[in-house]
């Protein structure tokens, strides 16, 4: 039975590229039949990267039969995985997020969780000498994942190892790293075709803090005026998203990649309190700028207070 390799729901570039990278490795190097799949539509940057490097978009699957062999990448959070994830035959996890708990497997498995900025960087290390066998299109995916997750090394999650690997890959591909990152971020910033609900869910994770369920959404962009011009309609859509997704509050951070700051939309007193307690912000009006806040994983989630 073909191994299914997938990342989290609302797939970004790392959760789209890493399944393709690892499926290549399993198929071509290890001789194990594997298929990269997605749990939802990739965001605009991820879609650009897949096309750029000559791949077909992986199949989107939301339901898996019990016993399906699987490898999970770029998450270990059951809320971001298929509802019956504990019925699947999960054989490995490759991730760079904090442990959440709740996964149960049918037997012992390989788990690699490392404090690096990107799952693809971990995969490079796990390949060892076999990484030299990567064709250019796989190298391109790996580079794209690193640039996306580090925001071209601006994110505080960036490590020297991530940066060195990205620079090595760019040199091997004869790519201008900065110019390529700009292409990726331009693709990520083109969100005009998406509905408000789609924008809120595009790069989004569910987290509970002291019994309050949050949908924590991030829009990373070089054109923050595009989503911020829709601020009123976005906040009007919160109620619909909360009802449909079973969460209590939506937190939407518009991250300005170039200015290295985030704007949090503040629709009510609960979010105002979150902003003040979590980030020491002084809130006036329906939004607040948070200087230096770039990373949901390192700066937003760990600091959330209600």
What are the tens digits of pLDDT across the range 246-259? 999 999 999 999 99
- Please give the CATH topology (third level) of the domain spanning 3-189: inorganic pyrophosphatase (n-terminal core) (3.90.1640)
- The mean pLDDT of 57-72, rounded to a whole number, is 97
Determine the pLDDT at residue 257.
97
Q: Please check whether residue 254 is in contact with residue 288, taking contact to mean a CB–CB distance below 8 angstroms.
A: no
Residue 260 has pLDDT above 90, yes or no: yes
Whole-model pTM over 0.85: yes
Range(s) of the chain covered by CATH 3.90.1640.10: 3-189
Range(s) of the chain covered by CATH 3.10.310.20: 196-303
Residue 91 has pLDDT above 90, yes or no: yes
Q: How far is CA 250 from CA 40, 117, 232, 241, 272, in A?
A: 20, 25, 14, 8, 12
CATH (residue range 196-303) = 3.10.310.20
Which of 252, 245, 246 minimizes the C-alpha distance to 275? 252
Per-residue pLDDT tens digits for 114-173: 999 999 999 999 999 999 999 999 999 999 999 999 999 999 999 999 999 999 999 999
Q: Any alpha helices (H) in the chain, and if so which ranges?
A: 13-24, 44-52, 119-127, 136-150, 160-172, 177-189, 196-202, 225-228, 231-245, 269-279
Q: Please check whether residue 146 is in contact with residue 120, taking contact to mean a CB–CB distance below 8 angstroms.
A: yes
Assign 192 a pLDDT band (cuts: 50, 70, 90): confident
């Amino acid at each position: 039975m073909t191994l299914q390799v997938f990342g989290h729901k609302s797939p970004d570039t790392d959760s789209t590229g890493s399944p393709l990278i690892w499926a290549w490795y399993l198929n071509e190097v290890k001789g194990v039949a594997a298929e990269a799949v997605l749990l939802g539509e990739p965001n605009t940057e991820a879609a650009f990267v897949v096309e750029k490097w000559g791949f077909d978009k992986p199949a989107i699957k939301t339901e898996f039969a019990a016993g399906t062999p699987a490898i999970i990448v770029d998450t270990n959070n059951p809320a971001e995985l298929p509802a019956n994830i504990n019925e699947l035959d999960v054989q490995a996890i490759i991730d760079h997020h904090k442990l959440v708990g709740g996964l149960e497997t049918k037997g012992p498995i390989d788990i690699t969780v490392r404090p690096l900025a990107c799952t693809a960087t971990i995969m490079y290390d796990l390949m060892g000498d076999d990484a030299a066998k990567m064709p250019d299109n796989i190298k391109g995916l790996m580079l794209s994942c690193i640039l996306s997750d580090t925001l071209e090394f601006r994110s505080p999650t960036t490590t020297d190892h991530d940066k060195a690997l990205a620079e090595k890959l760019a040199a091997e591909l004869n790519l201008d790293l900065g110019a390529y990152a700009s292409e990726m971020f331009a693709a990520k910033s083109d969100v005009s075709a998406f509905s408000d609900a789609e924008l809120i869910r595009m790069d989004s994770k569910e987290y509970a803090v002291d019994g309050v369920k949050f949908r924590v959404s991030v829009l990373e962009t070089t054109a923050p005026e595009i989503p911020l011009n829709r601020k009123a309609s976005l906040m009007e859509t919160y109620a619909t998203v909360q009802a449909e997704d079973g969460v209590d509050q939506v937190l939407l951070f518009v991250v300005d990649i170039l200015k290295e700051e985030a704007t949090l939309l503040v629709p009510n007193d609960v979010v105002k309190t979150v902003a003040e307690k979590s980030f020491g912000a002084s809130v006036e009006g329906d939004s607040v700028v948070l200087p230096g806040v770039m990373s949901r994983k390192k700066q937003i989630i760990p600091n959330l207070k209600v």
